[in-house]
Structure 1
Amino acid sequence: MSPSRTWKAWSCTVRLTVEDPAALGAACGALKALMDRVDKAASRFRDDSELSMVNARAGFMVPVSRLLVDLVDVSLVAASISGGAVDPTVGAAVVAAGYDQDIETVRRRLPQAAGVSAPAVGWKHVQLNRRLGLVGVPKGAALDLGATAKAWTADRAALVLSRRHGCAVLVEIGGDLRAAGTAAEPWVIDVAEREGDPGVPVTLSHGGLTTSTRTARSWSTPTGHAHHVIDPRTGQPAEGPWRTASVWAPTAVRANTFSTAIVATGEAALGRLTLAGHPARLVADDGEITELAGWPAASRAA
């Protein structure tokens, strides 16, 4: 069994596994440092983050770091690939739904009525100047990079650490996993809707495997439960036919793009997933399972 270390960050479980035991300590330090830089750049929950500065100055182009430029760029590519189903301009809708602080804080407070929400302003209205390092959103809009920044971090960390230490690496941040390097044996992963739930085993030799669900980050409101996956067409928590989607793709960002799109917009995203040909496992509201495009079984590696 390869050495592994687990800790809590970003309100989820982080797990790093490496084939070389001697690399584990340094690799953990590097992953924590990368996550800290991403948090300072793109967290919605820090008043001092660059993302908060961009949102506070909606209507203006704001100078930002190269890291945030990259993270915004990734979010816009995800929006394009998903046909707008994964839209980074849902920030105001997420806040209106009640997810305005860390999820544990939201769950602990008394149920509050949802604010007034509306369809997303639209990712095509986000302005990004890579050369000058400037980002701008229209007035009334707010960016939320939660759907892609975590997956980007898993991708980046796995690739960098595998090259740096010359061994296979598996990075897991919440529901986003990325395998890099050539492992002696494929990694065996339990895919579950929520942490602690019974999972189904799959094997992963490379690429990204992500799970998006509306069953995990949820909270009480006076009218029932709300969750963090927003349908950008309505600005409301998604109500599509699938409560959970797990997807394999060459990268965690691409896998997350399709898993989030399926939960956010349901049938509207299914055609794009089918055309992409990525293996997927969808869980319907009634618990019915649909497996697509050769979903990897325990005996067949993705």
Structure 2
Amino acid sequence: MGSTAHLLVHGPAADEQVESGRERISELERRWSRFREDSEIGRLNAAAGTPVTVSADTLVLVARAVTGWRRTGGLFDPTVHAAMLANGYDRDFALLPSRNSPSHRPVRNDLPAPGCAGIAVDLTSSRVLLPAGTAIDPGGIGKGLAADLVSAELRRDGAAGALVNIGGDLRARGQASGDEGWVISAADPFSEETELLRIALGEGAVATSTTLHRRWTSAGQQVHHVIDPRSGRPAVTALVSATVVARSAWWAEVLTKAVLLAGATSAAPSPAEVAAVSADGRRLVTAGLRRALR
């Protein structure tokens, strides 16, 4: 998933459960990576136009992604895969060529995302059908959903409390080790050393997306990974980051994209809460997070 994962488990078998959680995250990576031809996402994309049998994990992933697309009016769109490739993000971010490399692909601006209207998820037969010419990128939802799934499984297997954080998208469940609950800090997008907000979370999720940190140069232009599905180009928006607090991590992660693309905290419907930062450093927050600002 191109990220660092942190697992915090509270309970009598914490060490064993941390190890099982780590193995589970690795399993989801193998199933969902768009950079692996043998992953279920890789097979789905290669077989567009033909139904493909997938695991329960991938059924949930695709179903949630389609739901996110519908509920955000298409601002979140997992079908930006072709646009990602066109903008040069065709391998793990750590392996992207340097900015001076002659192998950079030219930036194209004619690949709006096809959308999710034609995607079919058959829960009975465990099959997913992508329309011909459609490929999905789970990068805008996968980390959050993985945090949801793994934290639920840790609780099911006896943990008194669990927090799973994958690349800054996290889900907390159950009892924390401290009296305050799960204390979550989000960094200012302009400085990792500065806090944007700090909250004490009982149960719930936090996700952050920013246009500042995952950037590269393609055809002489600085580009980033938040693709506007309407244009197929990196989003041009007044905001540089969005942090969303919601009940589930997959939904929080989806809403960060909607907020960034809309350029407004109102793109995340209640009961979600949002802290966003504009390009000129202004902090825009919904009422529930005002006291959490640092």
The answer to whether the Cα contact below 8 Å between 1:148 and 1:253 also exists between their aligned partners in 2 is: yes
Residue of structure 2 in register with 1:253 after alignment: 250
2:185 pairs, out of 172, 182, 190, with 190
The offset of 1:276, in angstroms, is 2.2
C-alpha distance in structure 1 between counterparts of 2:191 and 2:118, whole Å: 36
- Match of residue 114 from structure 1: 107
How far 1:197 sits from its partner (Å)? 4.0
Partner of 2:141: 148
Q: Compute the displacement of 1:115 (Å).
A: 4.2
Q: Could you say if the C-alpha distance between residues 210 and 194 of structure 1 is closer, same or farther in structure 2, counting changes exceeding 3 Å?
A: farther
Whether contact under 8 Å (2:83, 2:227) holds in the other structure is yes
**How far 1:289 sits from its partner (Å)?**
0.7
Distance 1:65 1:294 in 2: 38
Q: Do the aligned residues in 2 keep the contact of 1:227 with 1:237 (CA within 8 Å)?
A: yes
The 1:137/1:116 distance shift into structure 2, 3 A limit, reads farther
TM-score by structure 2 length? 0.90
Aligned residues: 287
| Match of residue 231, structure 1, among 221, 228, 233 | 228
Does the 8 Å contact 1:203/1:296 carry over to 2? no
CA deviations 1:102-142 (Å, max 9, x no partner) are 00111547244224541110111212211111112222221
Question: 1:48 and 1:113 mapped to 2: Cα distance?
Answer: 27
Which residue of the other structure, out of 205, 219, 224, is the alignment partner of 2:202? Answer: 205
Deviation at 1:166, TM superposition (A): 3.5
1:19 and 2:16 aligned: no
Flag structure 2 segments of 5+ consecutive residues without an equivalent. none
User: 2:274 corresponds to which residue?
Assistant: 280
Q: Which residue of 2 aligns with 1:3?
A: none
State the distance in 2 between where 1:23 and 1:135 align.
37
Could you tell me which runs of 5 or more consecutive residues in structure 1 were left unpaired when the two chains were aligned. 1-9
Deviation of 1:298 after TM superposition, in Å, equals 4.7
Cα 1:194–1:63 change in 2 (3 A) is: farther
* Corresponding residue of 1:294: 288
**C-alpha spacing 1:197/1:168, structure 2 compared with 1 (3 Å):** same
Deviation, 1:202, is 2.4
| C-alpha distance in 2 between matches for 1:186 and 1:102 | 35
Match of 2:60 in 1: 70
Equivalents in 2 of 1:97, 1:296: separation in Å?
A: 37
Question: Residues 91, 195 of structure 1: CA spacing in aligned structure 2 closer, same or farther, 3 A cutoff?
Answer: farther
* 2:153 equivalent in structure 1: 160
Equivalent position of 1:48 in the other structure: 38
TM-score of the superposed pair, with normalisation by structure 1: 0.88
**In the superposition, relative to structure 1, how do residues 90 and 285 fare at CA in structure 2: closer, same or farther (>3 Å)?**
same
Matched position secondary structure for 1:124: coil
Contact map agreement 1:87 1:123 (CA 8 A) in 2: yes
User: 3-state SS of the aligned residue for 1:29?
Assistant: helix
Alpha-carbon distance in 1 for matches of 2:213, 2:47: 32
Q: Distance in 2 between matches of 1:124 and 1:187?
A: 38
Q: Contact conserved, 2:259 with 2:267, CA < 8 A, in 1?
A: no
1:181 corresponds to: 174
Whole-Å separation in 2 of the counterparts to 1:84 and 1:143: 14
Decide which moves more: 122-131 or 105-114. 105-114
Question: Percent same amino acid among aligned pairs?
Answer: 33
